[in-house]
Structure 1
Amino acid sequence: MITPRTAKQCGKADYGWLQARYTFSFGHYFDPKLLGYASLRVLNQEVLAPGASFQPRTYPKVDILNLILEGEAGYRDSEGNHVQARAGEALLLSTQPGISYSEHNLSKDKSLTRLQIWLDACPERENALLQKIDIANVARQLIASPDGSKGSLQLRQQVWLYHIELEKGEELSFELHGPRAYLQSIHGTVHAVTHTEEQEGLTCGDGAFIRDEANITLVADTPLRALLIDLPV
């Protein structure tokens, strides 16, 4: 079963220095039916104005994946660690209790646009505090996984996250690890096909809940950039 979650249905915020779209309950936006999906807790697209910052804050024990779409970001924690990430890179923060983290748009004249994903972390697992990889110009790239396979970022959870780039008319098939997945269009229009149904196209910013499907095929109706988050747990 495929259930769309369109960009128009998502929560929104505009604080001047920050414009955001929230797939799940976050900040001032609250929907008791949308507190997350399996181990996926947050999926935000946010635009920070030139020079804007998120001030230091602590987090629950989650893995925070930032996919930088435009601009360059700087991240610091209260332990003195810092890293920069720019468009075309993905950064993973393995948050720790009692440690605060801040984020900054390093440009004084350009906006910073990124997707941010929070995944519940298994309490007994510990990974490197900071990990970063380049997003390749390929149809399918595994960018995060439980074991860091194929050069991916290593998560503290049983989740596989794919970055997808397709030309119009191209298609990709996936064998899912379990009963749940989430599809997010970043740019372009895509429709998903399973053995039971064919979903109408999802366009830029739209997402879809995928339930109880062992396999799924994605077909690009336009040039496409998307994420597929395989969430068996």
Structure 2
Amino acid sequence: MLTLRKSEERGFANHGWLKSYHTFSFANYYDPAHIAFRSLRVINEDFIQQGMGFGTHSHKDMEIITYVLEGALEHKDSMGNSSVIYPGEVQRLSAGKGITHSEYNHSQTELAHILQIWILPDRNGIEPSYEQKTFTTEEKQDQLRLVVSKDGRDNSVTAQQDLNIYATVLSPNSKIAYTVPENRYGWLHIARGKVSINDLLLSAGDAVAVETPQTLNIVAEAEAEVLIFDLA
């Protein structure tokens, strides 16, 4: 069984410089039916105006993953990290016992389009840490590329939780399959384009939850980018 989460049913906030769609309850958006899914706590789709962003703010006991779809995001934190994140790069920030950071659209001319993902860690109070890696389109083209995992295998970014996050970029009419095994749970988020999953048509911003073991047959109805969360 697939449980559909439609894009237009998500929470929405318009701050002028930021337009943000919330898959799960976040800030002023609260939906008791969509607090989290397993350890997946936040998927925010953010559109950040040129040169604008989030000033210095704090986090604690959260795994924060940034996935850039368009443009570039500039990051600075209290650990001394300073970087720019481009499409194809994945950044992981383990807030642990506490950090501060800021995030800004790096460009003065282009919109930044990102997914901000929060994962509940498997333990609190750890030392904060940071990691950023590049995954080329070729690595993701019409196949699943592991981009985040608990153990960092296959050169993926590590996270303090029992999960695997896969990314794929699909050519029109291409097909891939993903099997949710016993005692695991799946969440599929359509970042761009259109796909059908077991004949269920999904567009950008849509998602499905999978709570029973099954094989998902994913067919690209147009060029698409999909994130798959394999969760304990």
Check whether TM > 0.5: yes
User: Superposition pairs for residues 194-233 of structure 1, below 5 Å?
Assistant: 198=199, 200-232=200-232
Q: Bigger shift: 34-43 or 107-116?
A: 107-116
* CA-atom RMSD in angstroms: 1.8
The reply on whether 1:156 has 2:160 as its aligned counterpart is yes
Q: Deviations over 1:26-46 (max 9, x none)?
A: 111111121100000000100
What is residue 24 of structure 1 aligned with on the other side? Answer: 24
Q: Deviations over 1:82-135 (max 9, x none)?
A: 222112211111113232121111212221110111001121695872211223
Number of residue pairs matched by the alignment: 227
- DSSP 3-state at the match of 2:26: coil
The reply on whether 1:169 has 2:180 as its aligned counterpart is no
The reply on whether 1:105 has 2:105 as its aligned counterpart is yes
- DSSP 3-state at the match of 2:108: coil
What is residue 4 of structure 1 aligned with on the other side? Answer: 4
What is residue 40 of structure 2 aligned with on the other side? Answer: 40
Return 5+ residue gaps in structure 2 as ranges: none
User: Partners in 1 of 2:32 and 2:155 — Cα distance?
Assistant: 37
Q: Bigger shift: 26-35 or 134-143?
A: 134-143
User: Partners in 2 of 1:98 and 1:13 — Cα distance?
Assistant: 26
| Structure 1 counterpart of 2:33, one-letter code | K
Return 5+ residue gaps in structure 1 as ranges: none
User: Partners in 1 of 2:162 and 2:14 — Cα distance?
Assistant: 34
Q: Bigger shift: 76-85 or 50-59?
A: 76-85
Shift of 1:17: 0.5
What is residue 62 of structure 1 aligned with on the other side? Answer: 62
Name the % identity.
28
Of residues 194, 199, 208 in structure 2, which corresponds to 1:189? 194
What is residue 135 of structure 2 aligned with on the other side? Answer: 135
User: Partners in 1 of 2:27 and 2:18 — Cα distance?
Assistant: 13
Q: Deviations over 1:160-181 (max 9, x none)?
A: 1010111222211223343311
Q: Bigger shift: 60-69 or 171-180?
A: 171-180
Q: Deviations over 1:50-77 (max 9, x none)?
A: 1112122222311111111111111112
Contact map agreement 2:97 2:124 (CA 8 A) in 1: no
- DSSP 3-state at the match of 2:59: coil
* TM-score between both structures, scaled by the size of structure 2: 0.91
Contact map agreement 1:25 1:34 (CA 8 A) in 2: yes
Shift of 1:206: 0.8
Q: Bigger shift: 71-80 or 160-169?
A: 71-80
User: Partners in 1 of 2:174 and 2:34 — Cα distance?
Assistant: 32
User: Partners in 2 of 1:172 and 1:126 — Cα distance?
Assistant: 37
User: Partners in 2 of 1:133 and 1:98 — Cα distance?
Assistant: 23
* TM-score between both structures, scaled by the size of structure 1: 0.91
Contact map agreement 2:95 2:128 (CA 8 A) in 1: no
Contact map agreement 2:60 2:98 (CA 8 A) in 1: no
Contact map agreement 1:179 1:214 (CA 8 A) in 2: no
In structure 2, the CA distance between the partners of 1:213 and 1:125, relative to structure 1 (3 Å rule), is farther
